[in-house]
Amino acid sequence: MNKLKFYLLIATLAIVSSAKADEGMWLLQLMQQQNSIDMMKKQGLKLEASDLYNPNGVSLKDAVGIFGGGCTGEVISPEGLILTNHHCGYSSIQQHSSVENDYLTDGFWATSRDKELPTPGLKFTFIERIEDITDLVNQKIAANEVSETDAFSNGFLSKLASELLSQSDLKDVPGIKPLALPFYAGNKFYMFYQKVYPDVRMVAAPPSSVGKFGGETDNWMWPRHTGDFSMFRIYGDANGNPAEYNESNIPLQTPKHLAISLKGLNEGDYAMVMGFPGSTSRYLTVSEVKERMNSTNEPRIKIRTARLNILKEVMNASDKTRIQYANKYAGSSNYWKNSIGMNKAIIDNNVLGTKAEQEKRFAEFAKAQNNQAYMDVVNEIDNTIAITAPIKYQMTALIETFFSAIEFSTAYPVMEDLKTALQEKNKEGIDKNINILKQIYDRIHNKDYDHEVDRKVAKELFPLYAEMVPADQRPAFYSIIENEYKGDYNKFIDHMYDNSIMANQTNFNKFIKKPTVKAIDKDLSTSYSREKFEKYQALSESLKDSDDKLLILHKTYIRGLGDMNAPTPSYPDANFTLRATYGTVKPYSPKDGVFFSYYTTTDGILEKENPEDREFNVPAKLKELIINKDFGRYAMTNGDMPVCFLSTNDITGGNSGSPVLNDKGELIGCAFDGNWESLSGDINFDNNLQRCINLDIRYILFIVEKLGNCGHLIDEMTIVE
């Protein structure tokens, strides 16, 4: 299909059936072309496209940004106050926590500006502008300046983005970072001009008994009673420009902030989410879905289950360890449970059958069009997946075990450079590499690392990996374990964790005092680290040709699917770029005889309370407020206090923290989860089951005012009653 036909495909509006009305992570810059704004208006939106995205003026997109590196946040006051999820701010809360100041357990409330905590490493990113650069990329491909495959590469896109920024009127604006990305599997390319603020301070975080109420038990589940929110503030220099932390920095005076509605919700009300969905794979074939299940999800589930069991045990035994590993545990368990739920939902929701039916229709369409590329593409994808699936299983097992779960390692390239410097008696090189090793040692043995906990994890996972991967496919150090340690994993691990150069301060100090080639050569952690990287590189190399081939095959397949479905507008897979999704407030029925209301109240918190279970503890003050119905202006008309609500918005990871907006663009909640029954939604959207779980803004403000005693934060917000 030529470029004009593809443009017409994504630009033309068809009458979209109500069954699919809520599906879609729509690109803001295409709302007019695709007429998705008209679909939103039919659903109830009272705003214009320019109110959502206006490259030449202020719009809602100027109040929404990337929080940290993987979540969404929104500005809720004219002084840079950010709302996001508690689980998005969790690493920052943990970063500031200690046994003496346990903000994870007790919560944190900055009762004045001078008590807001600088959070090194935390950034907030706005989108200044979005440009279509498809023609430019295609011109470079046509001129043989870049291959069709390399046009997807980070190297090419980063270089192109830098060149475009150098030619832009934004080139001298502080904090601007360029980003170029492919969309529609490389049928389109867009350039994003991001503005990054590096001084973000922690303002408010409820105790985990509120922010993580329900813990892993309730994760991905409904009904939900989790107060999943935290608040931060953006600071800039005196001119409002991005600046590294400085005491003289001031709260950012933002051009746009979200007004907050306390009017309440009813079933059928319009709901819109704006944010940065991370990754979806809606255009996979049957073989690719099976590969996801068997080569990615299954080994991840097995390895993370083993690690999480150990972490839970050691965290329950020590407050120090609990704080150290809280963020690691939360990060690992989230997609552990997601993988379990996804595999279950793929079967329960007949996703494989749906994909097979799509492939059948596509084959009929391709034959009718007499398009050989379309006729061949699914079979070519299947043949390629037959090659990649076993390799990706190995890759998942390797990464999950030796790069994610087991933390202890040695920077073997630095050791090799030091070894060379020692052999050449190059004092400058020796000093340089020893200084690098000092920094690496400090990074390994940071405040959130416990060598004995990691040893325990290693002793569990080394033999587990051996059960999962045949001997001839394992890293070379398994031969050392077999031959030199008689297959005794514990003996090998104890030797490495006790005697390696980087294992402890005593060993390290002894080595840097008198470094030798011999010490490096016999260092077990150095050889272990080298060999796990060598295995990773070998697997990556064996996947390269197939992965490159799949890039072009997907480009053809997705173009073909769009052609088949024309003139219905399509949206590209999520890739952590700014999107809008629209829907309604709506209950659901997951199975026969079961009906879930669209909202929950604080009554459910007391019903779930279990003082013997950390996941279901209720703070005494909150319990008192609930019992006394001391909800102030945040209660519903019947006197109940709402907590969470459901909407039909199409979201995924990365949308965590996204604002949920009403028909006037006012904030009514904060998105934080999806529901268990639709965890196959990243692969196939199901309008009957897919629900977005949101925290009601009224519960957020109730907690801030009544539990946190931070009425001053509410005073700086714009509230509509």
Non-local (6+) Cβ contacts of 135 within 8 A are none
For residues 661 and 242, give the distance between their C-alpha atoms in angstroms, rounded to a whole number.
27
Task: Please give the Cα distance from 641 to 620 (Å, whole number).
Answer: 17
Question: Which of 271, 290, 312 has the alpha carbon at shortest distance from 599?
Answer: 271
Distance CA 151, CA 139 (A): 11
Name residue, tokens 């095959």.
553
Give the 3-state secondary structure of 564-578: HHCCCCCCCCCCCCC
Of the candidates 714, 329, 389, the residue with the CA atom closest to the CA atom of residue 547: 389
Whether 656 is catalytic is yes
Report how far residue 521's alpha carbon sits from residue 663's, in angstroms, rounded to the nearest whole number.
67
From 218, 228, 454, 663, active-site residue: 228
397 contacts: CB under 8 Å, gap ≥ 6 = 299, 303, 465, 468, 469
Q: Which two tokens stand for residue 86?
A: 């508690």
Could you say which DSSP state residue 455 is in? H
Distance, C-alpha 329 to centroid of its chain: 15
Distance in angstroms (rounded) separating the CA atoms of residues 339 and 333: 10
Question: Closest by alpha carbon to 693, among 568, 566, 586?
Answer: 586
Q: Are strands 579-584 and 659-661 parallel, antiparallel or unpaired?
A: unpaired
Spot the catalytic one: 230, 333, 656, 658.
656
Return the closest-CA partner of residue 59 out of 148, 161, 127.
Answer: 127
Rounded CA separation 225/602 (Å): 7
Asked if 487 and 358 touch (Cβ cutoff 8 Å), the reply is no
Find tokens 């999806």 and name the residue: 674
3-state secondary structure of 91: helix
CA distance 521 to 510: 16
Q: Looking at 226-293, which runs of residues are DSSP E strands?
A: 230-236, 250-251, 260-261, 270-275
* d(C-alpha 549, C-alpha 666), whole Å: 45
What is the spatial distance between Cα 288 and Cα 249, in angstroms, rounded to a whole number? Answer: 50
User: What are the φ/ψ torsions at residue 284 (nearest 5 degrees)?
Assistant: -75, 155
Q: Are strands 230-236 and 81-84 parallel, antiparallel or unpaired?
A: antiparallel
Cα–Cα distance, 641 to 634 (Å, whole number):
7
| Catalytic residue selected from 59, 77, 87, 261 | 87
Would residue 135 show up in a list of annotated catalytic residues for this protein? no
State the number of CA atoms in the 13 A half-sphere of 191 facing the CB.
25
Q: Tell me, what amino acid is at 341?
A: G
Q: Is 87 among the residues known to form the active site?
A: yes
| Cβ proximity of 282 and 680 under 8 Å | no
Residue 594, number of CB atoms within 10 A of its CB: 8
Inter-residue contact 679 to 341 (CB < 8 Å): yes
CB atoms within 10 A of CB 607: 11
Active site residues: 87, 228, 656
